[in-house]
Amino acid sequence: MTANRSYDLSVTTQGPAYPPSEIMNKDGDFVVIGRLNTRSGPSWGRAVVSAASPLPPLGEDLPYTIVRRLPDELDERDREMELYTLPLPLPCNNYPMLFAPEQRPDAHRIERPSHPLHRAPIPDLREADGPRLRDPITLGQWIRARGQLDVTLTPDRRAARFAFSFTGLIPDSVYTVMSLRERDLDPAGPTRPGPLGVPNAFYSDEHGMGHYRAELPDPFPAPGTPGGNRVINVVVLWMSYQQNYGGAIGHFGLGGDIHAQLKLRGPHFGEFTTRD
């Protein structure tokens, strides 16, 4: 039975399939690196996608309205594309989740415009406090991120340890890591995505390097375990408000205040089994 494995994370801008991305451009289009829904089916790719794309019910897919494809090798225009948060309420969103039910039960009623990532309105910030992010964050900078994950079961198999190392992150920034569980996107009753460990924050240095570790109790219960909800993916989130939210991954999620930058492509960790 597998007790240890290493993984390479993939750069992304996408959490679930809707909204299509957690990043926008200045024109209000989604900048998608992740699963593209097309007429021929979903596949991993890069594209600028219209915010007016058709929106299906949770658990279903419709082809995105693709403005243009983005090549693997970006030209100068695309490398210099400035990145933005999503406005609130979130556009093209079919995921009715309150990410911070105790902290922000009114999240679905908040209205805010889209902001350049480096100018997201950090609460209570004063210029004299010395904000470090002063230059626009571009697509060329975003895609430099690299991450490695090592998962190790404890000797008694009651827990698993997750150890990450990163390069190419946005420098001098607050990040967190969330766990995605198998029922988090269940249309019949989605569970709330949560942090991978608490405290669930790390800080990238001036060179964009960082490390994070966590230990979760019984994250991989055997299939069919009553009440079981296996971890199937991990997502590294850049925090545009430069905040940590305790037991929540963010107040608004999905590009409102958290932005997926690295993850695994699809469900993983089926080789592991833990016990309570």
**pLDDT tens profile 106-155:** 999 999 999 999 999 999 999 999 998 889 999 999 999 999 999 999 99
Averaged pLDDT, 51-74: 97
**pLDDT tens profile 213-253:** 999 999 999 999 999 999 999 999 999 999 999 999 999 99
Domain ranges of the chain: 4-124+137-263
DSSP string spanning the chain?
---EEEEEEEE-S-SSSSSS-S-B-TTS-EEEEEEEEETTEEEEEEEEE-TT---PPTT------EEEE--SS--HHHHTPBPBPPPBSPTT------S-TTT-TTGGG--B---BGGG---TT--GGG--S--S--BHHHHTT-EEEEEEEE-TTSSEEEEEEEEESPPSS-EEEEEEEETTTT-TTSPPPPEESSSS--EE--TTS-EEEEEEEES-SBPTT-TT---EEEEEEEEETT---BTTBS-SS-TTSSEEEEEE-SS---TT--B--
The yes-or-no verdict on residue 1 having pLDDT over 80 is no
Q: What global pTM score does this model have?
A: 0.97
Averaged pLDDT, 250-257: 97
Averaged pLDDT, 92-111: 96
> What's the pLDDT at 133?
87
Averaged pLDDT, 46-58: 98
